[in-house]
Amino acid sequence: MGLFVAQLLTGLANAAALFLVASGLSLIFGVTRIVNFAHGSLYMLGAYVGLTLMNTLPGAFGFWGSIVLAGLVVGLIGILIEICVLRPIYRAPELFQLVATFGVILVIQDLALMIWGAEDRLGPRAPGLKSVVRILGEPVPQYDLALIAITPFILFALWWFITRTRIGILVRAATQDREMVGALGVNQSWLFTGVFFLGAALAGLGGAIQLPKGGADLLMDLNIISAVFVVVVIGGMGSIPGAFIASVLISVLNVFGVAYIPQSTLVLIYVVMAVVLTVRPYGLLGREEKAGEHGQVGEVERPIRPVGTRGRAFVFVLLVVLACVPFVGSSFLQVLITDILIFCLFAASLQFILSSGGLVSFGHAVFFGGGAYAAALLVTYADTPMELALLCAPLGAGLLALGIGWFCIRLSGVYFAMLTLAFSQLVWSLVYQWGAVTGGDDGLVNIWPSAWLSGTTAYYYFTLAVGVGGILVLRHIIHSPFGYTLRATRDSARQAEATGIDVKRVQWLAFALAGTMAGLAGGLFVFSKGSIFPNELEIGKSFDALIVVFLGGVKTLSGGVVGAVFMESIKDWLTRLEYWRLILGLVIIGVVIIAPDGIVGSLRKLGERIGLLKEQESMR
């Protein structure tokens, strides 16, 4: 009994920082509809700023003062981010801001490294709260009790602010109906800025308040963000009480998980998340999303046509050039282009489901990695020949996509995105923690192609054929009746249903097709690298693909491919520099602000303006 209570208290104390960060994220999402991936970075900044302040300000007053000040400082940084990065792109396509916040993550990572150095910092302990209290015979740290007391207080303060103050009521109204608040003459941009300040301050507070239990290190940003997403999604996007309940739920579950299934704590969390979302798709306290609420922002996608003779000739010439690379270029150039081609196919598969299907998947890497693992497992355990294993990669990924899609496709918009994220994290945690089969973090190695493909050049041609082939197949499918049907379900589900189209079935199959193609890319990948590791199916990989699709241009057909080429090339060049993440982050933010239609979309507009391309009939 004593142990049980003590474990419960540990869970509650752990919930504090998680709740602060999650409520900030939830608040920002509720009002601005921005999924702020940089929220973990704000948490990290809170920890570093708090640490710096605590080292300067003495005593208990200095300690608690530092925590509050850290919150304020991070809030100000949040304002800076909102004004400089997000404000220019509120009108960009749905979820485009996501890419910008990813750029912010990169920038903050390098800035933190520059300012605070690489060494992990241990946080100071709270003055006067250094020992334990015995509760039912079990030691409970005093600071844990302080955290347990503070959290409901903050929840109450937030509740009071939102329900009892004028600004709070506006915030709440904006959560319900953004347009209405705008129509009432409230200055929306300052409301957004204010909310961003508050959300960022909460994250900063969370970072500072956990210092006595941990410290500050450069890995905190990404470490907390996946937990925070779990909490926000389980609690319900935009719901602060939901964030509270979910942080307590997750923290307590985690404590008991540690005690009883220590090998599978990660799996447990993601299983809970997947179950909650399957039963209550909008989270515990989330409200149902009305159709069209987050419909496409900005101009409508244009009618499409297969490329004309000139375009085909251009692609043909390009292929010829690529085919000549082994005769003129170095072996590394072939490796680089192989990598880029594989990534292009992966991005094209995401673009297919995202642009043509209007389904934003946050977990697309699960199919890339899933395909790769399918092949690698066959080679490792069944000595399957490479040719057969490579064939099984898209098949395996396609089956996985059928399975995951069956659950996810019932939702739409951000909730669809979040459920795909949940499932991909579930698969990732399985791969990561089921070491006996998957090799866990050490992956599966020695997965090399058959003799006839083992040379760099041979594999280069193979990837060129399969990769470009895959991209062309996807492109063709977009122009086929199935592709049109998919676009029809995106443009108007009601009309589609009323004209004999089974919308969910079409989306499901398209999702599976996208997964299959991602799996093909994964298969190519594993044989080009000779090994596969869980990081190929983690969140970061999914984001890489999302970023290139958005950068390339969502409302275009070739955006994914162009974005992938752009990104991989620039990365290959930038990673040689000392602070490449800073530069890459700035490049991403720059592209997002300057070219909100993506690279292809913006080039097309430029082409039309200078008369190179035929201008489209203007709207209205």
Partner 1 sequence: MKTVKTLVAAAALAISATAAHAADTIKIGEINHYKRLAAFAEPYKKGIELGLKEVNASGGVLGKPLEFIFRDDQGKPGEAIKIAEELMTRDGAVMLTGTILSNVGLAISSFAAEKGYVYLAAEPLADALVWSAGNPYTFRLRTSTFVQAAMLAEAAAKTDALKYATIAPNYAYGKDAVEAFKVNLKKLKPEVEFVTEQWPALFKIDAGAEVQAIEAAKPDAIYNVTFGPDLAKFVREGTTRGLFDDRNVYGLLTGEPEYLEPLGEEAPEGWVVTGYPWYDIPAGPGLDFVKAYEAETGETPKIGSLVGYMTVQSIAALITKAGSTETSALLGAFPGLKVETPLGEISYRDVDHQSTMGAFIGTTALKDGAGVMVDWTYKDPEAYMPSDEEIKSMRPAE
Partner 2 sequence: MTAVLKVEGLSKSFGGVKAVNGVDFEVAPGELKALIGPNGAGKSTCFNMLMGQLMPSAGKVYLKGEQITGLPPRVIWRKGVGRTFQITGTYQSMTVAENVQMALMSHHRKLFSLLPYAYRLFREEALALLDVVGMADQADRSCAILAYGDLKRLELAIALSNDPMLLLMDEPTAGMAPKERINLMQLTSDIVRDRGISVLFTEHDMDVVFAHAHHIMVLNRGELIADGTASEVRANARVQEVYLGGGTLYAAEGSHA
74 binds, among partner 2, partner 1, none (CB under 5 to 8 A by kind): none
Residue (199 or 519) nearer to partner 1, CB: 519
C-alpha distances in angstroms, 258 versus 10, 230, 266, 557?
Answer: 12, 18, 10, 47
The contact mask relative to partner 2 for 131-170 (x = CB under 8 A, - = no) is ----------------------------------------
Site residues for partner 1, window 353-412 (CB under 8 A)? none
3-state helix, strand, coil in the chain (%, to 5): 75, 5, 20
Query: Applying CB under 8 A, which part among 173-181, 393-401, 484-492, 566-574 lies near partner 2?
Result: 484-492
Residue (185 or 303) nearer to partner 2, CB: 303
Q: Which one of residues 259, 313, 323, 606 is an interface residue with partner 1 (CB under 8 A)?
A: 259
Strands 444-445 and 215-216: what pairing? unpaired
Residue (94 or 144) nearer to partner 1, CB: 144
Residue (31 or 427) nearer to partner 1, CB: 427
Q: Apex CA 521: angle with CA 515 and CA 525, to 5°? A: 135
Residue (576 or 614) nearer to partner 2, CB: 614
CB 423 within 8 A of CB 274: yes
Q: How far is the CB of 492 from partner 1 (least distance, A)?
A: 29
499 binds, among partner 2, partner 1, none (CB under 5 to 8 A by kind): partner 2
The pair of three-digit structure tokens given for residue 251, joined into one six-digit string: 């923290």
- The identity of residue 415, as a single letter, is Y
* Burial call 296-333: b when 16+ CB within 10 Å, e when fewer: eeeeebeeeeeeeeeeeeeeeeeeeebeebbeeeeeee
Site residues for partner 2, window 304-343 (CB under 8 A)? 304-306
Partners of residue 445 on adjacent β-strands: 531
Residue corresponding to tokens 């945690």:
429
217 binds, among partner 2, partner 1, none (CB under 5 to 8 A by kind): partner 1
Q: Which one of residues 137, 292, 385, 435 is an interface residue with partner 1 (CB under 8 A)?
A: 435
> How would DSSP label each residue in 344-380?
HHHHHHHHIIIIIT----S-THHHHHHHHHHHHHHHH
* DSSP three-state, residue 194: helix
Angstrom distance (rounded) from CA 434 to CA 447: 19
Residue (449 or 598) nearer to partner 2, CB: 598
**Per-residue H/E/C for 459-502:** HHHHHHHHHHHHHHHHHHHHHCHHHHHHHHHHHCHHHHHHCCCC
Residue (435 or 469) nearer to partner 1, CB: 435
Angstrom distance (rounded) from CA 189 to CA 83: 9
Q: Which one of residues 433, 438, 485, 542 is an interface residue with partner 1 (CB under 8 A)?
A: 433
Q: How far is the CB of 330 from partner 1 (least distance, A)?
A: 5
214 binds, among partner 2, partner 1, none (CB under 5 to 8 A by kind): partner 1
Q: Side-chain half-sphere of 522: how many Cα atoms within 13 Å?
A: 39
- The identity of residue 580, as a single letter, is W
- The DSSP element (H or E) to which 139 belongs, if any, is strand 138-141
The contact mask relative to partner 2 for 557-596 (x = CB under 8 A, - = no) is ----------------------------------------
For residue 439, state whether it binds partner 1 (rule: CB under 8 A).
Answer: yes
Angstrom distance (rounded) from CA 103 to CA 403: 32
C-alpha distances in angstroms, 31 versus 89, 181, 346?
Answer: 15, 11, 33
Query: Applying CB under 8 A, which part among 80-88, 378-386, 413-421, 576-584 lies near partner 1?
Result: 576-584
569 binds, among partner 2, partner 1, none (CB under 5 to 8 A by kind): partner 1
For residue 113, state whether it binds partner 2 (rule: CB under 8 A).
Answer: no
The contact mask relative to partner 1 for 513-532 (x = CB under 8 A, - = no) is ------------x---xxx-
616 binds, among partner 2, partner 1, none (CB under 5 to 8 A by kind): partner 2
Residue (99 or 493) nearer to partner 2, CB: 493
For helices 539-552 and 580-594, angle between their N-to-C axes, nearest 10 degrees: 40
339 binds, among partner 1, partner 2, none (CB under 5 to 8 A by kind): partner 1
Site residues for partner 1, window 128-147 (CB under 8 A)? 130-132, 138-139, 141, 144
Residue (109 or 175) nearer to partner 1, CB: 109
Angstrom distance (rounded) from CA 63 to CA 53: 8
280 binds, among partner 2, partner 1, none (CB under 5 to 8 A by kind): none
619 binds, among partner 1, partner 2, none (CB under 5 to 8 A by kind): partner 2
For residue 491, state whether it binds partner 2 (rule: CB under 8 A).
Answer: yes
Site residues for partner 1, window 193-252 (CB under 8 A)? 212-215, 217-220, 223
In sequence order, the 6+-apart residues with CB closer than 8 A to the CB of 92 are 297, 298, 592, 596
Taking Cα atoms as reference points, which of 379, 367, 381 lies closest to residue 436?
A: 381
Residue (487 or 604) nearer to partner 2, CB: 487
Partners of residue 139 on adjacent β-strands: 134
Q: Which one of residues 130, 134, 280, 302 is an interface residue with partner 2 (CB under 8 A)?
A: 302
Taking Cα atoms as reference points, which of 448, 415, 412, 410 lies closest to residue 530?
A: 448
Q: Which one of residues 377, 386, 506, 548 is an interface residue with partner 2 (CB under 8 A)?
A: 506
In sequence order, the 6+-apart residues with CB closer than 8 A to the CB of 503 are 489, 493, 496, 497
Q: Which one of residues 136, 313, 321, 388 is an interface residue with partner 1 (CB under 8 A)?
A: 321
Report the interface residues with partner 2, using CB under 8 A: 299-306, 476-477, 479-485, 487-488, 490-492, 494-495, 497-502, 506, 509, 616-620
